[in-house]
């Protein structure tokens, strides 16, 4: 498998045109750099020295070849790395180029490189890439990835879809995640973020008055905003003063247009919305209100200060004169109200599973406390030998894996349904499936729909109960985990293996991939972490 990276020039879609599949080469240098998205300067793990990192763009049918050069040197953070392309299927037998550490690959250390090869096939939409190793992406290694469709069936709904319409929200910490994770595992309290960010900018209580990110629009035009929640923990409630948003896509899958005034995005989720610039020329607040953690546990955090500005052409370069609010609080998106653009009834279920999430607390651990998240009373622990290596060496059933790998093995082309029953937990876990979409049969606390549910790759599992359904038609071992990465790193994960026989028949890793694990295992301990 090959390592991915680089700054790509934004390629805008040419609607109605036919673009022959090509290979696009991208290079990303993963380096430590000082950044200050909220005015507080800290060393970070970055793609090409910026946060967020450079946008990777592609056109439907292309193959991305992303070379990642690991140039990390700061010993206070992780110095190995591994890149995941969130939501991208990798539409070929190259399932080994899906950068899930110890599932499909091993990380690679400082001073080395790897190239990921990603055949995109027919996939289009809004995605992102980030480090999948431990909590490293919370230290900065995260950025958008957009696949444009030259013949977009929804192109008639908007006029503008360019670099300025890619919008990100994220949570941000002032300290390295290495000690913060150790703290979390001992005291059971997720460290509260220092600031919310919109397009890489925000503020914190007592910090400098940094500029909010402005999004330029021209009166009378319709804009396709590609919203990405790149958080490690937080959901965001998003709205734009005096404007509505028409949802046309969820996690890269087209939906019937559905107009709302406000929507909630969980960590890892993406929504494409159309906003018409139909108000008097001026500046309007883009409200992005962070949810996740008690601000009393971190006095830096002001959940409303990750906002942006919708700035009409002709308006002054200034903040809106209207009050900062939490949004309208009305006409909020109900996920169950979304319908697919092309209705497809899910096939009947072959295998039913129930996933019960819970937290286990061990007060007698040497540190005094140790908390682990579990699925069906098992807390996921990364194996030394990656799942895919075991499969290529003959593993064919769940008994071939350690219990703590929480691995489920299914034949190819079977329909799997996973139900998270209602619980008493005060959590909404955004579960993300790698390498596949699932039908969202029952959104959390919403009625079941097995007639025309949407498909996506991140959905919240919480007190109201959630059900998802997918087909094992993409052979490979795929992570299915909580995208609150604090929970993920405390064990809230599983691996879903589809078609082990087909994996052995079709997956033929490269020599570079074969060399990853021996090289990683030979690293000094301080370069692995």
Higher pLDDT, 483 or 97: 483
pLDDT over threshold 70, residue 15 = no
Task: Answer yes or no: are the C-beta atoms of 259 and 199 closer than 8 Å.
Answer: no
Looking at the fold, whether 356 and 231 belong to one and the same domain comes out as no
CA angle 239, 241, 244 (to 5 degrees): 60
* pLDDT, tens digit (0-9, with 9 covering 90-100), for 406-435: 999 999 999 999 999 998 887 899 999 999
Residue 172 covered by a domain: yes
What's the pLDDT at 90? 85
Residue 418 covered by a domain: yes
Looking at the fold, whether 107 and 171 belong to one and the same domain comes out as no
Element (H, E) at 466: strand 466-471
- CA–CA distances in Å: residue 15 to residues 152, 154, 156, 217, 220: 7, 10, 10, 21, 20
Token duo for residue 95: 């399932």
- Please report the DSSP string for 161-196 in residue order: -SGGGEEEEEEE-SS-HHHHHHHHHHH--PPPPSEE
Given phi > 0 = left and psi -120 to 50 = alpha, else beta, which region is 518?
Answer: alpha
Looking at the fold, whether 88 and 127 belong to one and the same domain comes out as yes
Higher pLDDT, 4 or 304: 304
- CA–CA distances in Å: residue 373 to residues 203, 427, 468, 484, 510: 32, 12, 20, 11, 35
| Helix %, strand %, coil % of the chain (to 5) | 15, 35, 50
What's the pLDDT at 363? 53
Residue 426 covered by a domain: yes
Looking at the fold, whether 108 and 238 belong to one and the same domain comes out as no
Q: What is the mean pLDDT of residues 510-527?
A: 96
Strand partners, 114: 68
What's the pLDDT at 187? 83
* pLDDT, tens digit (0-9, with 9 covering 90-100), for 457-501: 999 999 999 999 999 999 999 999 999 999 999 999 999 999 999
Which positions ≥6 away from 399 have C-beta within 8 Å? none
Signed CA dihedral, 372, 374, 377, 380: sign only: negative
Looking at the fold, whether 186 and 144 belong to one and the same domain comes out as no
pLDDT over threshold 50, residue 17 = no
* pLDDT, tens digit (0-9, with 9 covering 90-100), for 39-72: 999 999 999 999 999 999 999 999 999 999 999 9
* pLDDT, tens digit (0-9, with 9 covering 90-100), for 258-269: 999 999 999 999
pLDDT over threshold 60, residue 347 = yes
What's the pLDDT at 362? 64
pLDDT over threshold 80, residue 176 = yes
| pLDDT range class, residue 507, cuts 50, 70, 90 | very high
What's the pLDDT at 1? 35
Q: For the chain, what is the radius of gyration of the CA atoms?
A: 22
pLDDT over threshold 50, residue 8 = no
| pLDDT range class, residue 440, cuts 50, 70, 90 | very high
| pLDDT range class, residue 2, cuts 50, 70, 90 | very low
- CA–CA distances in Å: residue 468 to residues 82, 161, 490: 28, 31, 23
Residue 397 covered by a domain: yes
Looking at the fold, whether 491 and 358 belong to one and the same domain comes out as yes
Number of domains within the chain:
3
pLDDT over threshold 80, residue 366 = no
Residue 143 covered by a domain: yes
Residue 526 covered by a domain: no
Looking at the fold, whether 478 and 388 belong to one and the same domain comes out as yes
How far is it, in rounded angstroms, from Cα 293 to Cα 180?
14
Looking at the fold, whether 143 and 170 belong to one and the same domain comes out as no
Residue 477 covered by a domain: yes
* pLDDT, tens digit (0-9, with 9 covering 90-100), for 215-259: 999 999 999 999 999 999 999 999 999 999 999 999 999 999 999
What's the pLDDT at 21? 62
pLDDT over threshold 70, residue 5 = no
Looking at the fold, whether 179 and 323 belong to one and the same domain comes out as yes
Which positions ≥6 away from 56 have C-beta within 8 Å? 6, 8, 26, 64, 66, 129, 143, 144, 145, 146
Looking at the fold, whether 249 and 379 belong to one and the same domain comes out as no
Q: Which of 302, 333, 364 is the last residue of a domain?
A: 333
How far is it, in rounded angstroms, from Cα 70 to Cα 30?
5
Looking at the fold, whether 41 and 147 belong to one and the same domain comes out as yes
Looking at the fold, whether 329 and 281 belong to one and the same domain comes out as yes
**pTM of the complete model:** 0.94
Higher pLDDT, 111 or 21: 111
pLDDT over threshold 60, residue 127 = yes
| pLDDT range class, residue 7, cuts 50, 70, 90 | very low
Full residue range of the structural domain in which residue 181 is found? 166-333
Residue 3 covered by a domain: no
Q: Which of 284, 299, 333 is the last residue of a domain?
A: 333
CATH number of the domain enclosing 483: 2.60.40.420
Looking up tokens 């596949």, which residue turns up? 436
């Amino acid at each position: 498998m090959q390592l991915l990276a680089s700054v790509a020039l934004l390629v805008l879609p040419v609607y109605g045109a036919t673009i022959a599949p090509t290979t696009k080469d991208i290079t990303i240098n993963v380096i430590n750099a000082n950044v200050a998205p909220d005015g507080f300067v800290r060393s970070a793990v970055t793609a090409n020295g910026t946060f967020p990192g450079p946008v990777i763009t592609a056109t439907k049918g292309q193959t991305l070849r992303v070379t990642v050069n690991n140039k990390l040197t700061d010993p206070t953070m992780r110095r190995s790395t591994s890149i995941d392309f969130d939501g991208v299927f990798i539409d070929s037998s190259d399932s080994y180029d899906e950068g899930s550490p110890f599932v499909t690959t091993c990380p690679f250390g400082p001073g080395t490189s790897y190239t990921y090869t990603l055949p995109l096939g027919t996939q289009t939409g809004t995605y992102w890439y980030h480090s999948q190793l431990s909590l490293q992406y919370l230290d900065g290694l995260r950025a958008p990835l957009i696949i444009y469709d030259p013949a977009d069936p929804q192109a008639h709904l908007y006029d503008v879809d360019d670099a300025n319409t890619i919008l990100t929200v994220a949570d941000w910490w002032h300290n390295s995640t290495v000690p913060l994770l150790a703290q979390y595992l001992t005291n059971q309290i997720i460290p509260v973020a220092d600031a919310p960010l919109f397009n890489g900018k925000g503020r914190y209580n007592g910090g400098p008055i940094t500029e909010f990110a402005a999004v330029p629009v021209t009166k009378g035009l319709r804009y396709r905003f590609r919203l990405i929640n790149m958080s490690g923990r937080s959901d965001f409630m998003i709205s734009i003063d005096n404007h509505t948003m028409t949802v046309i896509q969820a996690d890269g899958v087209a939906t019937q247009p559905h107009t709302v005034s406000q929507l909630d995005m969980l960590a890892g989720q993406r929504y494409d919305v159309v906003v018409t610039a139909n108000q008097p020329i001026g500046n309007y607040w883009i409200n992005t209100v962070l949810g996740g953690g008690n601000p009393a546990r971190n006095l830096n955090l002001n959940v409303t200060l990750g906002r942006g500005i919708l700035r009409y052409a002709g308006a002054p370069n200034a903040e809106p004169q209207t009050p900062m609010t939490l949004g309208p609080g009305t006409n909020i998106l109900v996920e169950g109200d979304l319908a697919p653009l092309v209705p497809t009834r899910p096939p009947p279920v072959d295998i039913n599973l129930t996933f019960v999430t819970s937290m286990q607390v061990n007060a007698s651990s040497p540190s005094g406390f140790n908390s682990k998240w579990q699925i069906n009373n098992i807390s996921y622990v990364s194996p030394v030998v990656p799942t895919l290596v075991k499969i290529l060496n003959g593993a064919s059933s769940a008994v071939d894996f350690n219990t703590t790998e929480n691995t489920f093995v299914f034949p190819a082309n079977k329909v799997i349904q996973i139900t998270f029953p209602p619980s008493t937990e005060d959590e909404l876990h955004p579960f993300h499936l790698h390498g596949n979409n699932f039908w969202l049969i029952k959104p959390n606390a919403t009625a079941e729909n097995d007639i025309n549910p949407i498909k996506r790759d991140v959905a919240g599992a919480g007190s109201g109960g959630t059900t998802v359904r997918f087909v094992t038609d993409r052979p490979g071992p795929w992570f299915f985990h909580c995208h609150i990465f604090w929970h993920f790193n405390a064990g809230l994960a599983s691996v879903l293996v589809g078609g082990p026989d087909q994996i052995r028949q079709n997956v033929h890793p490269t020599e570079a991939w074969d060399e990853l694990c021996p090289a990683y295992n030979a690293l000094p301990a301080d370069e692995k972490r």
